[in-house]
């Protein structure tokens, strides 16, 4: 699915959180969004998903303007895992993942065997099937995160939007998630804080002050100049002798008080 | 002054005795009554006379059994209970107050004749309904006039 | 395919069971009253009325069964179902466990209007039954708008706070106006504050039952959408729920249900708060099960509360709101404690 966005912007209380962002997503690519705190990553992800009111600019899905599409049609194409979605309800893990089928079911159509299969697959993908009967309050932060991702997978979208999906996850589940994402045959846009993880994306976009200041292949974009300019850190680039992949080792800049 | 007072009391007492005598002459057995003052809403449980006020005195004096057993002055009693007690006579209050719809005695009459349960009561079917001034149901010398009105109505009711 | 058939069969069985429970409760509501009437008499009256059989029954007893107790019980059931559904839907929409129909200011608004009419005599005789009910719906809605305006564009929880403040404010109105009332007026006011089913007749049934059924249908159609609200409005939107439209329809349905029921029987408390929570505990949080369970439990609960209100003190009817509060207040305390433990 091709997503084109032009002139995306959003203001909160008169302050521009995101402004003038253009973006073309190539079908099937994994696009990483990086940038310091408050640079507008989460807001941009919501704009792409069409979830913010009074947005500036325009998003097209396969040539159709997003704002002309019913929410249900959008939800069949785009799934979002946000950072702060939580509940006080005592849902089970399976209940939460089943919510992903919402855009595909009418008010009274019962859950079919196919729907059940999709939910099972989604639970397997995040290694949560054995906890399917657990209640939400008993889950750890990382488990909740994985359930949210399973819910998004059960939506069977063509564009998966993840806001810092590796947050809360232990190292095993971080790597498992990245491998899962790399293996999905859908377009993925995700905000990431770990720049080494961003290196695994097909392309990265760098947000700073609400604007996208750079966009391209990770090795081209993530330079020491960018790191000191945007992230206010220095870095040495190391090469892993096992597979020649690039690694960053960060340090504070000398002149940074 | 004192003489005029005495005369008035004597007059009231004789009028009371006369009213009671006329009722006794009817030799009433098993005749019951209820005093309906008003209702907060037309159809809800009404305010009726309990066992401790002037209406109870009037019923006692004339040999009518009060179907209400509450010791409150104006208890709220359900139409269900009133209808099942099936009073022989119903006394309704007439007043100028119009706080509630049921303050209007014509509305009370209309209710008695149209409510599917109330209209089945003996008193309604035989039209044994007496209209009394609401003030005469509060303690005062007007109670005697009310007693007379009620006593005068009874002979026409063909009660046994 | 076989799975779908089996679940349909289970659904039919559960629905039949639920209806049977409701029928039993209605029968109990008719049989039990201040004056004991035998079940045989009740059955006879029902068969006479429904199938045109002959009867030798006392017309007063027959009238009490058909014209007083049956309508009263049907309205109690409608009212219980409508109020608990209202509570459930509001709790789900604003994601606030303490939301109840009074959140909308509907009941408080209606009570204020009723009390003002009682004491100030504002057009008391002019206002006909149905018009009065519509006015109160309007009052409820405008209260909500006012609350919304005050709540501004802040989150659901804050909005809820705004509504609650408005409701509380109106309660204060009621108390203020009530202060200038005498004892007899006060009893009339009690009707609005604590609920009263004694004046219920067939015309009320023809209003209450359709509203409760329509409201139930509106909620059930949105069962999936309500599930999607469990992670908040943004999550619901990303799951394809047209959030604004669903909120509008459901809040409209809830307002209508609460306003109509309050206009018929006064503001009966705690039903909308306690029943949905009890049912979450019993059938879980998925709305496709929760909505029918809550409607049924609410209906049965209010019929039972009405029975208790007539039996608690012999020869005297305790206001039904007192009975629901006897059960509801401890229930409310449990919800508060559980909620704090979770937060």
The reported pLDDT for the residue numbered B15 is 95
Tally the domains of chain B. 1
- In the DSSP assignment, the letter for residue A249 is E
Query: What are the C-alpha distances in Å from C343 to residues A147, A167, C281?
Result: 21, 22, 18
Direct distance between the N- and C-terminal alpha carbons of chain C, in angstroms, rounded to an integer: 42
Out of B86, B101, B117, name the one closest to residue C68 (CB): B117
User: B41: domain CATH number?
Assistant: 3.40.50.1980
Percentage of chain A surpassing pLDDT 90?
Answer: 64
pLDDT for res C3? 57
pLDDT of residue B73: 87
pLDDT over threshold 70, residue C140? no
Are the C-beta atoms of A55 and A9 separated by less than 8 Å?
yes
pLDDT at C127: 36
Residue B84 has pLDDT above 60, yes or no: yes
- The answer on pLDDT for B160 being more than 80 is no
Nearest by CB to residue A88, choosing from C95, C221, C238, is C95
- Pick B116's closest partner by Cβ from C67, C118, C316: C67
Q: Domain C74-342 belongs to what architecture? A: Orthogonal Bundle (1.10)
Subunits with 3+ Cβ pairs within 8 Å of C are A, B
pLDDT of residue A120: 96
Residue C131, pLDDT score: 40
- C-alpha span between C113 and C122 (Å, rounded): 9
Q: C275: which residues sit within 8 A by CB, 6+ positions away?
A: C80, C84, C87, C88, C294, C297, C298, C301
Beta bridge partners of A9: A56
Q: B84 to chain C: nearest residue by CA?
A: C60
pLDDT tens for C41-77 read 888 888 888 877 766 778 898 899 999 999 999 999 9
ipTM for this model: 0.90
Least confident range from C5-14, C55-64, C162-171, C302-311: namely: C162-171
In chain C, the percentage of residues whose pLDDT exceeds 70 is 69
List chain C domain ranges: 74-342
For residues A31 and C192, the model is more confident at A31
A131 interface with C at CB cutoff 8 Å: no
Using the predicted structure, report yes or no on whether residue C161 has a pLDDT greater than 50. no
- Report, as an integer, the average pLDDT of C196-221: 93
Predicted local confidence at residue C95, as pLDDT: 76
Of the pLDDT bands very low, low, confident and very high (cuts 50, 70, 90), residue C331 is confident
Say yes or no for a CB contact (<8 Å) between C237 and A103. Answer: no
Closest alpha carbon to A200 in A25, A16, A31: A31
For residue A41, the model assigns a pLDDT of: 94
Considering chain B, what is the average pLDDT of its residues? 92
Check pLDDT > 50 for residue C179: no
Separation of first and last alpha carbons in chain A: 46
The pair of structure tokens assigned to B48 is 């009726």
Q: What is the pLDDT of residues C119-130, one digit of tens each?
A: 444 333 333 334
What is d(CA A142, CA A148) in angstroms, rounded to the nearest whole number?
A: 10
> What confidence tier does C338 reach under pLDDT thresholds 50, 70, 90?
confident
Confidence at C7, pLDDT banded by 50, 70, 90: confident
Which residues in A lie closer than 8 A to residue C231 (C-beta atoms)?
85-87, 96, 99
A148-152, C9-13, C100-104, C119-123: lowest mean pLDDT where? C119-123
Q: Is the pLDDT of residue A246 over 70?
A: yes
The C-alpha of C166 sits at a distance from chain B's nearest C-alpha, in angstroms, of: 28
Chains that touch B (3 or more CB pairs under 8 A): C
* C-alpha separations of A208 from A20, A40, A41, A229, B6 in Å: 12, 7, 9, 10, 106
C-alpha distances (whole Å) from A184 to each of A188, A205, C169 are 8, 20, 55
Q: Which helix (H) or strand (E) holds C304?
A: helix C287-311
Residue C174 reports pLDDT greater than 80: no
Q: In Å, how far is A252's CA from the nearest CA of chain C?
A: 37
Q: Do chains B and A touch by CB distance (3+ pairs < 8 Å)?
A: no
CB burial class (10 A; 0-12, 13-18, 19+) of residue A141?
exposed
C-chain residues near A89 (CB < 8 A): 230, 280, 285
Look at A147 and C186; give whichever has higher pLDDT. Answer: A147
pLDDT reported for residue C250: 94
pLDDT of residue C108: 53
Average pLDDT value for residue range A64-88: 91
Taking each helix axis from N to C end, the angle separating C320-342 and C287-311, rounded to the nearest 10 degrees, works out to 140
Question: Who among A71, A78, A91 is closest to C230 (CB)?
Answer: A91
Nearest to A102 among C4, C8, C228 (CB): C228
Residue C153 has pLDDT above 50, yes or no: no
How far B68 CA sits from the closest chain C CA (Å)? 10
Instruction: Name the one residue in this structure whose structure tokens are 């989604």.
Output: A122
Residue C200 and residue C76: Cα distance in Å, rounded?
Answer: 9
Confidence category of residue C207, pLDDT binned at 50, 70, 90:
very high
pLDDT value, residue C152: 33
Check if the beta carbon of residue A31 is closer than 8 Å to that of residue A198. no
- Number of other CB atoms surrounding residue C111 within 10 Å: 25
The confidence band for C151, taking pLDDT boundaries of 50, 70 and 90, is very low
CA distances from B89 to A166, B82, B123, C59, C337 (A): 85, 12, 5, 18, 57
For chain A, which domains are there?
Answer: 3-222 (3.40.50.300), 225-257 (no CATH)
Q: Where in the sequence is the domain holding B98, given as residue range(s)? A: 2-157
Residues 311-330 of C with CB under 8 A from B: 315-317
Report pLDDT digits (tens) over C220-244.
999 999 999 999 999 999 999 999 9
pLDDT given for residue C147 in this prediction:
35
pLDDT in tens, B33-68: 999 999 988 888 899 999 989 999 999 999 999 999
Q: In this predicted model, which residue has the larger pLDDT, A86 or C115?
A: A86
Residue A163 has pLDDT above 60, yes or no: yes
Q: Provide the mean pLDDT of chain C.
A: 76
d(C-alpha B72, C-alpha B56), whole Å: 11
pLDDT in tens, A7-38: 999 998 889 999 999 999 999 999 999 999 99
Question: CB–CB of B51/B84 below 8 Å?
Answer: no
pLDDT at position C269, please?
A: 84
**Which position has the higher pLDDT, C234 or C3?**
C234
Residue C49 C-alpha from the chain's centroid: 28
For residue C188, pLDDT beyond 60: no
How far from chain centre, in Å, is Cα A253? 29
Supply the pLDDT for residue A118: 97
β-strands A64-65, A3-12 pairing:
unpaired
Average pLDDT over residues B101-120: 94
The pLDDT, as a whole number, for residue B54 is 94
Task: Kindly state whether B84 is in contact with chain C, defined as any CB-CB distance less than 8 angstroms.
Answer: yes
Q: What is the mean pLDDT of residues C160-167?
A: 37
Which residue in chain B is spatially nearest to C318 when comparing CA positions? B76
Give the residue-averaged pLDDT of A133-152: 92
pLDDT at C37: 83
User: Which pLDDT belongs to residue A152?
Assistant: 96
Find, in chain B, the residue whose alpha carbon is nearest to that of C191. B40
| Cα Rg of chain B (Å, integer) | 16
pLDDT for residue C178: 45
Q: Which residue has the higher pLDDT, C135 or C191?
A: C191
What is the CB neighbour count within 10 angstroms for residue A235? 18
Average pLDDT over residues C265-289: 90
Task: Give the B:C interface size as CB pairs under 8 Å.
Answer: 77
- Closest residue in chain B to residue C183, using alpha carbons only: B74
Band (A56; pLDDT cuts 50, 70, 90): very high
């Amino acid at each position: 699915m091709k997503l084109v966005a032009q002139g995306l912007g959003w203001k909160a209380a008169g302050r521009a959180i995101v402004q003038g962002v253009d973006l073309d997503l190539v079908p099937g690519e994994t696009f990483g969004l990086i940038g310091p705190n408050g640079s507008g990553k989460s807001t941009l992800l919501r704009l792409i998903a069409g979830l913010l009111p009074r947005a500036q600019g325009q998003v097209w899905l396969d040539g159709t303007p997003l704002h002309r599409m019913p929410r249900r049609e959008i939800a069949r194409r785009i799934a979002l895992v946000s950072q702060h979605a939580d509940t006080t309800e005592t849902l089970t893990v399976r209940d939460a993942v089943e919510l992903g089928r919402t855009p595909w079911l009418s008010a009274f159509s019962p859950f079919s065997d196919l729907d059940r299969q999709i939910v099972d697959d989604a639970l397997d993908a995040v290694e949560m099937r054995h906890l399917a009967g657990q209640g939400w309050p008993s889950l750890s932060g990382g488990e909740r995160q994985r359930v949210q991702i399973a819910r998004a997978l059960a939506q069977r979208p063509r564009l998966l939007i993840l806001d810092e999906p590796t947050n809360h996850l232990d190292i095993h589940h971080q790597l498992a998630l990245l491998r899962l994402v790399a293996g999905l045959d859908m377009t993925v846009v995700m905000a990431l804080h770990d720049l080494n993880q961003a290196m695994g994306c097909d392309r990265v976009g760098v947000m700073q002050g609400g604007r996208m200041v750079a966009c391209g292949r990770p090795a081209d974009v993530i330079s020491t100049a960018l790191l000191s300019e945007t992230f206010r850190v220095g870095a040495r680039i190391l090469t892993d002798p096992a597979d020649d992949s690039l690694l960053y080792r960060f340090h504070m800049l000398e002149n940074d008080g | 002054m004192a003489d005029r007072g005495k005369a008035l009391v004597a007059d009231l007492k004789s009028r009371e005795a006369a009213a009671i005598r006329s009722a006794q002459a009817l030799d009433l057995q098993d005749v019951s009554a209820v005093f309906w003052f008003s209702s907060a809403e037309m159809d809800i449980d009404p305010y009726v006379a309990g066992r401790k006020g002037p209406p109870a005195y009037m019923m006692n004096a004339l040999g009518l059994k009060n179907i209400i057993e509450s010791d409150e002055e104006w208890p709220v009693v359900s139409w269900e209970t009133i209808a099942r007690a099936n009073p022989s006579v119903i006394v309704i209050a007439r007043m100028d107050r119009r706080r509630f719809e049921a303050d209007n005695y014509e509305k009370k009459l209309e209710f008695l004749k149209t409510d599917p349960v109330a209209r089945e009561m003996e008193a309604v079917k035989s039209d044994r309904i007496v209209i009394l001034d609401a003030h005469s149901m509060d303690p005062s010398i007007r109670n005697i006039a009310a007693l007379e009105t009620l006593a005068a109505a009874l002979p026409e009711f063909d009660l046994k | 395919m076989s799975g779908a058939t089996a679940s349909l069969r289970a659904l039919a069985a559960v629905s039949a069971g639920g209806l049977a429970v409701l029928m039993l409760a209605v029968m109990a509501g008719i049989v039990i009253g201040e004056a004991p009437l035998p079940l045989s008499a009740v059955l006879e009256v029902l068969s006479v009325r429904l199938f045109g059989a002959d009867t030798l029954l006392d017309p007063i007893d027959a009238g009490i069964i058909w014209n007083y107790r049956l309508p009263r019980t049907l309205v109690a059931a409608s009212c219980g179902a409508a109020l608990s559904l209202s509570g459930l839907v509001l709790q789900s929409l604003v994601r606030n466990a303490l939301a109840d129909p009074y959140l909308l200011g509907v009941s408080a608004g209606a009570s204020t209007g009723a009390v003002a009419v009682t004491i100030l005599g504002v057009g008391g005789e002019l206002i006909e039954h149905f018009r009065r009910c519509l006015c109160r719906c309007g009052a409820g809605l405008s209260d909500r708008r006012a609350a919304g305006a005050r709540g501004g564009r802040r989150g659901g929880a804050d909005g809820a706070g705004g509504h609650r403040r408005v409701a509380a404010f109106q309660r204060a109105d009621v108390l203020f106006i009530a202060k200038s009332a005498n004892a007899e007026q006060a009893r009339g006011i009690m009707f609005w504050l604590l609920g009263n089913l004694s004046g219920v007749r067939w015309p009320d049934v023809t209003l209450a039952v359709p509203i409760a059924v329509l409201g139930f249908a509106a909620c059930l159609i949105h069962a999936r959408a309500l599930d999607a609200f469990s992670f908040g409005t943004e999550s619901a939107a990303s799951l394809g729920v047209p959030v604004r439209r669903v909120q509008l329809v459901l809040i409209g349905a809830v307002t209508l249900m609460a306003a109509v029921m309050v206009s018929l029987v006064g503001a009966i408390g705690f039903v909308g708060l306690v029943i949905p929570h009890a049912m979450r505990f019993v059938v879980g949080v998925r709305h496709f099960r929760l909505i029918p369970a809550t409607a049924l439990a609410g209906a049965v609960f209010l019929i039972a509360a009405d029975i208790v209100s007539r039996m608690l003190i012999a020869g005297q009817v305790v206001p039904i709101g007192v009975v629901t509060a006897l059960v509801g207040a401890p229930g409310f305390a449990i919800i508060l404690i559980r909620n704090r433990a979770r937060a």
